[in-house]
Amino acid sequence: QVTLRESGPALVKPTQTLTLTCTFSGFSLSTSGMCVSWIRQPPGKALEWLARTDWDDDTYYNTSLKTRLTISKDTSKNQVVLTMTNMDPVDTATYYCTRHYSGSSPYFASWGQGTLVTVSS
Amino acid sequence: QSLLTQPPSVSGAPGQRVTISCTGSSSNIGAGYEVHWYQQLPGRAPKLLIYGNNNRPSGVPDRFSGSKSGTSASLAIAGLQAEDESDYYCQSYDSSLSGSVFGGGTKLTVL
């Protein structure tokens, strides 16, 4: 059974750096074709894909946020970490981590419950 | 502004059939990238409903179906039920962004 759980601060101040951790079980990120992505959703708004890390150490970023994002993985701990710098109130959102497979148009079958991050002074 | 355009809302009476459109461009749906659909109940994580344009994961009723043509895709829900009232999102890949993209979401109301 695949499970993912997001953890991190519920509240961050503007200009601070956000660090979120995705702890997962039921699969290994060292398995060929395996990937983990972060997706966020501002309250009442649409989903937005943020970043992805693959089994082969490749990483991909949303081009509009690329300068602020870093995704990394610790295969031994079954964790993926997302950092986002220079947080702003518009970054207030529920952040999800998802497991998926590589491919030309990957889809997200397994999701964590999400963690709400509020950016406010 | 989402690269995939969905109607903000659709509605239908119980038992009816409704469709939700998802319009893209030559850099995503029109380029041949597959379209996927998600259902999101209030306060919950999205749930995969359709993958690869028209495939249902195990457990998804066959009332839900997907199609794709040109630069657009559609989700059809037949025999509408009260429990189908939810937000629905389409998703694909965009070559100009080198990443996944979502539609703006559609709220389905069962009258």
Q: HSE of A3 in the Cβ direction (CA atoms, 13 Å)?
A: 4
Residues of chain A under the 70 pLDDT cut: none
> What does pLDDT average to over chain B?
97
Nearest to A96 among B45, B101, B105 (CB): B45
Q: What is the per-residue pLDDT for B76?
A: 98
> In this structure, what token pair is assigned to residue A60?
């991909």
Q: What is the per-residue pLDDT for A104?
A: 87
pLDDT over 80 at B1, yes or no: no
What proportion of chain B, given as a percentage, has pLDDT over 70? 100
Query: How far is residue B56's CA from residue B37's CA, in Å, rounded to a whole number?
Result: 10
Those of residues 61-100 in B touching chain A at CB distance below 8 A are 89, 91-93, 97-100
Instruction: Please enumerate residues of A whose Cβ is less than 8 A from a Cβ of B.
Output: 37, 45-49, 52, 60-63, 96, 104-109, 111-114
Q: What is the DSSP string of chain B?
A: --SBB--SEEEE-TT--EEEEEE--TTTGGGT---EEEEE-TTS--EEEEBTTTBPPTT--TTEEEEEETTEEEEEE-S--GGG-EEEEEEEEETTTTEEEEB--EEEEE-
Query: How far is residue B34's CA from residue B73's CA, in Å, rounded to a whole number?
Result: 9
Q: What is the per-residue pLDDT for A103?
A: 86
Residue of B nearest to A37 (CA): B100
pLDDT over 90 at B47, yes or no: yes
Question: Are A36 and A21 a contacting pair, CB within 8 Å?
Answer: no
Q: What is the per-residue pLDDT for B106?
A: 98
Mean of the pLDDT values across residues B3-11?
97
Best CA proximity match to B93, nearest among A35, A66, A104, A37: A104
* Angstroms from A98 CA to nearest CA on chain B: 10
Query: How far is residue B90's CA from residue A17's CA, in Å, rounded to a whole number?
Result: 30
Best CA proximity match to A92, nearest among A108, A112, A115, A69: A115
Place of tokens 């038992």: B15
Enter the DSSP assignment of A15. T
Task: List Cα–Cα distances, A20 to A45, A77, B67, in angstroms.
Answer: 21, 15, 36
Q: What is the per-residue pLDDT for B2?
A: 84
